[in-house]
Amino acid sequence: MAAVKVIGGGLAGCEAAYALAKRGIDVELYEMKPEKFSPAHKSAGLAELVCSNSLKAERTASAAGLLKQEMRRLGSLCLECADECRVPAGGALAVDRDEFSALITAKIEANPKIKIIRSEVTEIPSDGVCIVAAGPLASDALSKSISLLCGCALSFFDAAAPIVTAESIDMDEAFTQSRYDRGGEDDYINCPLDKAQYEAFYSELVNAQSAELHEFDRKKDVYEGCMPIEALASRGLDAIRYGPLKPVGLCNPKTGHRPWAALQLRKENKQGTLYNLVGFQTNLKFGEQKRVFSMFPALRNAEFVRYGVMHRNTFINSPKLLKPSFAMRENPDLFFAGQITGVEGYMESAGSGILAGINAARHIFGEPELVLPVTTMLGALSAHVSTTRENDDFQPMGAAFGLLPPLEEKIRDKRERYEALSQRSLAILEKEIKKL
C-alpha cells in the first residue's frame, strides 16, 4: 500500500498524518520549511502558531470548548501536546508556542509510520491518496495547481462582514422586508436609524481604531464591493447612506416611513440562526466592531459569532468541491483540510485535519465515510464547508453555537442553553465513535 501524501505541516496536516499513522497507514508529510518560508512563518518547526498563542476557551459551555472536547475524543495530537505545554490563561487554553511546535515536531518525527519530507510541493499529485493541508498562505506555485485542479480561482483575500446570532437581534427595533418587496418577506432583517442616530454612528465609525495589518495582508487594490465600511465612510457623511446603509425601497412598518438609513441583515445559514451584516466588511479592531456596530438599536445586545476580517486567506470554494468527509466530490482519493477549506481558527483547522485523516484511512480500507451529525460542532463545521448556498457567498467560519440546530426545549439562560447544546453534542459524538 502506497504512502498517503499530506501536503502541509501545520496543525491540520499534523493531525491528518497522525490520524492516518494511528490506523497503520504510512504517511509522507511534506513541509516546505526551512527550504522556503511563507511571509508569516519564522520557525522550521511543524504546527507553528503564527498569531495568538491562545487556543480559546476550555469550558464546555462555549463553542471553542465543545470543539476541543470533541477533538479529544477523536484522539487529537494538538490537544495532547497543548496540555503538556500550557501557560496560565484564565479560562482559556494557551500554550508556549515554541514548546508546542517543538513537541508536535518531536512526536511526528518519532512516529515510525510518518516520514517528513522538507520540500515545497508545487503540484497536486495525480495518483494515490493525498490530503492538501497547505494553509491560508500556500505558496504561489501550489495555489496555482490547486486553482487549476478545482477549475476555479481561489479566494486570496478574505473580506468578510460580521455575523450575529438571530436570537440576539432586537426585533422590536427591526423589521423584515426586501427592497421594493422583491423576494421573500423575511429574506432580510432591516435595522433602521433616524438622522440623529445615523450621524452619531457615522462619527464613531470614522474615528474607530483599525487593526494593524501585516505587509502580506495588505491588499493594494480593493474592489469597491469589498471596501471596508470605515474606508467608504471616510469619503463623506452620506457615502454609506448611499451604499450599504441605503434606505431606498424600504418602509418601516412601525413608522410608516422610509428610514433615514438602514443596515440589512441576511441569513447566513438555512436554519436562520445566524445573520451577516450586509456590506459591513471591515478592518476595525474586534472590540471596536462590537462597540460601534452595537449602536444600531436592533443590535444593542447583538452576539457576534464572527467579527469582520480583511486579510490574505487562500481558500477553495468548498461547498461546490468537497463532501462532508473533506474528500473531493469528483476525486475520492483527494482530500483537503485546514483553513484552505474555509474553517477558521487553530482548533477548527486541526479538527478538520483529524476528520480528513480518518476518512482517508477509511477510504483506503473500503469503509464508509465518517460524516458526523450537524448536532456536533465538528459535524456542523463539516456541513458549513460542504453545503451549497443559494447566493453562492461562501465565507470561512469558526466554531459557533449558531451553527448547531436548536434544542427541542427552550432554555432562556444562555449559559445553560450552551451547556445543554454541548452535552447533546458530546452524547451524540460518543454514539458515533462506538460505530467506528
Tell me the per-residue pLDDT of 276-317, one tens digit each, with 9 for 90 and over: 898 898 989 999 999 999 999 999 999 998 888 776 667 888
Burial class (CB in 10 A: 0-12, 13-18, 19+), 57: buried
Q: pTM value?
A: 0.76
| Residue 385 φ/ψ, nearest 5 degrees | -90, 0
DSSP strand pairing (274-277 vs 261-267): antiparallel
Tell me the per-residue pLDDT of 234-259, one tens digit each, with 9 for 90 and over: 999 999 999 999 999 999 999 999 99
Which positions of the chain have pLDDT values less than 70? 39-40, 152-159, 183-185, 213-226, 311-313, 390-392
Q: Which domains does the chain possess?
A: 4-154+316-435 (3.50.50.60), 163-309 (2.40.30)
Q: Report the DSSP beta bridge partners of residue 306.
A: 163
Q: What is the pLDDT of residue 186?
A: 75
Residue 159 in contact with residue 313, Cβ under 8 Å? no
Q: What is the pLDDT of residue 380?
A: 97
Q: Report the DSSP beta bridge partners of residue 309.
A: 160
Beta strand spans in 357-421 (E)? none
Q: What is the pLDDT of residue 222?
A: 42
What is the spatial distance between Cα 319 and Cα 292, in angstroms, rounded to a whole number? 32
Sign of CA dihedral 6, 9, 12, 14: positive
Q: What is the pLDDT of residue 184?
A: 66
Q: What is the pLDDT of residue 44?
A: 87
Residue whose entry in the numeric block shows the C-alpha cell 483575500: 157
Residue whose entry in the numeric block shows the C-alpha cell 446570532: 165
Of 173, 201, 217, 342, the C-alpha closest to 280 is 201
Q: What is the pLDDT of residue 394?
A: 80
Q: What is the pLDDT of residue 59?
A: 92
Q: What is the pLDDT of residue 10?
A: 96
Q: What angle do CA 96, 398, 153 make, to 5 degrees?
A: 110
Q: What is the pLDDT of residue 223?
A: 39
Sequence-distant (≥ 6) Cβ neighbours of residue 70 within 8 angstroms = 351, 376, 377, 378, 425, 426, 429
Which amino acid type is present at position 267? K
What is the spatial distance between Cα 146 and Cα 182, in angstroms, rounded to a whole number? 38
**Whole-number percent of the chain with pLDDT over 90:** 67
